[in-house]
Amino acid sequence: MPEDLSPAFSGCYLAPFYSTISRSHLRPKKKPKAMNDTKTTPKQRSGRRGLFMLGMADLMSGIGNWRLCHLMGLGEIRRRYARSRIGQFWLTISTAIVVTALGLVWSTLWKQPVAGLMPFVAISLIVWTMISGTLTEAATVFVSSGPMFLNQGTSFSTAIYSLVYRQLVIFLHNLPIIVIANLLFSVPVGDISLIALPGFACLVLALVWTSYLIAIACVRFRDLTQVVQNGLMIAFFITPILWKPDQIPPDKDYLLFLNPFAALLAVVREPLLGQLPSIYEWTAAAIFSIGGFVVALPIIGYCQRRIIYWV
């Protein structure tokens, strides 16, 4: 710039130059959205829909991925029995051996006829296998499926549905054992057995939300996995699986009233034995499955954006 230019003139001369300089580095930068999610409150994150609708949206998104749930569920079973000549039928064979052994042993210990105890043990043990298998694997389902969630935006309910679907397939493999036991011991089963269908629907609904909550708790606090396994072991002995409800002393009836597994088992087992579940068993099963599902939805909506940080 020439030296004879006055300061005022030089300022006017450089004004257009300075106006074109970017000052974006002086503006405060916005934090990434992933970092903001951990700072905001649930009300801000939920927006207009609320936590209840967030939980419902996550579950509906998992239903939309039903093909992936099908492939994940069957793929795990096939991997377990790869290069086996019998394959998945080992599920039926091993369950039949366990049912036969326990039925004979416990009929001798309780001094009851085999014909009266064997069908009861067969149905109870097969249904309990589905319950315990679902809840046990739910404790590690998010950890084992972690790479899928980290690589793509799949809803977490997809892993829950695939787990329940896999246990449902195992239950169908074991279903012929129930039919054979009822035929061998002449259990009077007729149209009343169809009442087991709504009871089984309550059972599946209860497994969906309980396994989801267990998966959330265990992925956040990894030590809870052992607590779940030990709790299911205790529940196996205090639930009428190897013993009938009428064998419990009257002063210990609270073990049945406070045990939701007893009601869920009864609404599936009793119709398959040609009997009707009591009103209390239907009420307890419906409250636990439907009421628990409604209560679990806000918890799922609250935790769904946090799970990815815990995997």
Q: Per-residue pLDDT tens, the chain, 311 aa: give them.
A: 444 444 444 444 444 444 444 444 445 455 444 444 444 444 444 444 588 888 888 899 889 888 888 888 888 888 877 777 777 788 889 899 999 999 889 888 878 888 888 999 999 999 999 999 999 999 999 988 878 887 777 888 999 999 999 999 999 999 999 999 999 988 888 888 899 999 999 999 999 999 999 999 999 999 999 999 999 999 999 899 988 888 888 888 887 888 999 999 999 999 999 899 999 999 999 999 999 999 999 999 998 888 888 88
pLDDT score recorded for residue 196:
93
pLDDT score recorded for residue 62:
86
Cα distance from N-terminal residue to C-terminal residue, the chain: 63
Distance CA 234, CA 93 (A): 26
Specify the long-range contacts of residues 212-216, CB closer than 8 Å, at least 24 apart: 212/138, 212/156, 212/157, 212/160, 212/296, 212/300, 213/296, 213/299, 213/300, 214/135, 214/138, 214/139, 215/138, 215/139, 215/141, 215/142, 215/156, 215/159, 215/160, 216/142, 216/299, 216/300, 216/303, 216/307
pLDDT score recorded for residue 40:
46
The kind and range of the H/E element at 121 are: helix 114-138
The percent of the chain in helix, strand and coil, each rounded to the nearest 5, is: 75, 0, 25
Residues found in the chain = 311
